[in-house]
Amino acid sequence: MRTGRRGIAVALFAVVLFGLLAPLLPLGSATEVQGPPFAAASGAHPLGTDFLGRDTLARVAAGGQTLIMQALTATATVSVVGVLLGAVTGMTTRRWSAVPLRILDGLSALPPLFILLLLASGTPGNDLVVVVAIVAVTTPFSVRVLREATRQVYETAFARVARARGDSVLQRLRHDILPGITEAMWADAGVRFVAAVQLAATAGFLGLTAGAPAANWGRMVRENVVGVGINPLPVLVPAALIIALALGFTLLIDRLSARTGADIGAAAGA
């Protein structure tokens, strides 16, 4: 069991490390034509060439950094906002606390792809706007999950004692609430990362990220699908790396959910 967890962690770390650092490797140009379109794998081109005859390995190496950075940035932002709003609204029963929840509920009712297209299509090729769209789509679910976790801690005996003792809100937040929801925070961050990877890959597939000739794993799948019968590697390799990212975090989330005794992924609804 422990070996399995280590294997997952090592595989996930390797994919993330490859995506972030591979652009620094001396693999040649990712934009220059190197041969005929969809050439088979060879010594000169271990993954063959893409639909324009560019080296597939060089483009795979250059195409993951933006996607991973978008997912990590969006996940960090959503986690901070989710913890703050979730904890604050979970620690009070006053009417004003329902206002941000109703606004987020309205936002969560919109289809994620609609929000992504609405924001990103207005400024095509802007990677930062894609991050903003991912944050807008996933924040409502994070707030809901962490608010519920906060409410459960808020009603425990030691939290009631702290309130009766007259501890301030910040003291209770620091010493009672945050330590009590730590595992839920990590599990929720894992779910948000998976959603962020999916949305970032979708944005790349739809051409909403930095335009050609910049490489992107999502756009590589769309660009090369016409030649999948000739050389499938330009489609299969970036798709497999995207799946490895999402699957690795999904497995880690399952472990965290088992430890917390709650199905965070199901509660998140995303």
Q: Measured between alpha carbons, how far is 55 from 44 in angstroms, rounded to an integer?
A: 9
pLDDT score of 102: 84
pLDDT score of 267: 45
Q: Residue 254: pLDDT above 70?
A: no
What pTM does this model have? 0.82
Q: Measured between alpha carbons, how far is 195 from 51 in angstroms, rounded to an integer?
A: 29
Q: Residue 48: pLDDT above 90?
A: yes
Q: Measured between alpha carbons, how far is 75 from 16 in angstroms, rounded to an integer?
A: 15
Structure tokens at 15: 């994919």
Which sign, positive or negative, has the C-alpha torsion 28, 32, 36, 39? positive
Q: Measured between alpha carbons, how far is 147 from 83 in angstroms, rounded to an integer?
A: 8
pLDDT tens, position by position, 55-105: 999 999 998 888 999 999 999 999 999 999 998 888 887 777 778 888 888
On whether the CB atoms of residues 147 and 188 are closer than 8 A, the answer is: no
Q: Residue 202: pLDDT above 70?
A: yes
pLDDT tens, position by position, 207-252: 887 766 788 898 999 999 999 899 999 999 999 999 888 777 777 6
Confidence of residue 258 (pLDDT cuts 50, 70, 90): low
Mean pLDDT of the chain: 84
Confidence of residue 266 (pLDDT cuts 50, 70, 90): very low
pLDDT score of 75: 92
State phi, psi for 54 to the nearest 5 degrees.
-85, 155
State phi, psi for 263 to the nearest 5 degrees.
-85, 85
Q: Measured between alpha carbons, how far is 174 from 180 in angstroms, rounded to an integer?
A: 10
Q: Measured between alpha carbons, how far is 213 from 167 in angstroms, rounded to an integer?
A: 58
Confidence of residue 261 (pLDDT cuts 50, 70, 90): low
Q: Measured between alpha carbons, how far is 180 from 149 in angstroms, rounded to an integer?
A: 8
pLDDT score of 93: 73
pLDDT score of 253: 67
Structure tokens at 117: 């297209």
pLDDT tens, position by position, 91-139: 887 777 778 888 888 888 888 888 888 887 777 778 888 899 999 999 9
DSSP the chain: -HHHHHHHHHHHHHHHHHHHHGGGS----SSSB-SSTTPPP-SS-TT-B-TTSBBHHHHHHHSSHHHHHHHHHHHHHHHHHHHHHHHHHHT--SGGGHHHHHHHHHHHTS-HHHHHHHHHTTSTT-HHHHHHHHHHHHHHHHHHHHHHHHHHHHTSHHHHHHHHHT--HHHHIIIIIHHHTHHHHHHHHHHHHHHHHHHHHHHHHTT-SS-TTS--HHHHHHHHGGGTTT--HHHHHHHHHHHHHHHHHHHHHHHHHHHHTS-HHHHHT-
What are the Cα distances from residue 35, in Å, to 31, 42, 198? 12, 11, 32
Q: Residue 146: pLDDT above 90?
A: yes
On whether the CB atoms of residues 48 and 233 are closer than 8 A, the answer is: yes
152 compared with 16, residue with greater pLDDT: 152
pLDDT score of 234: 94
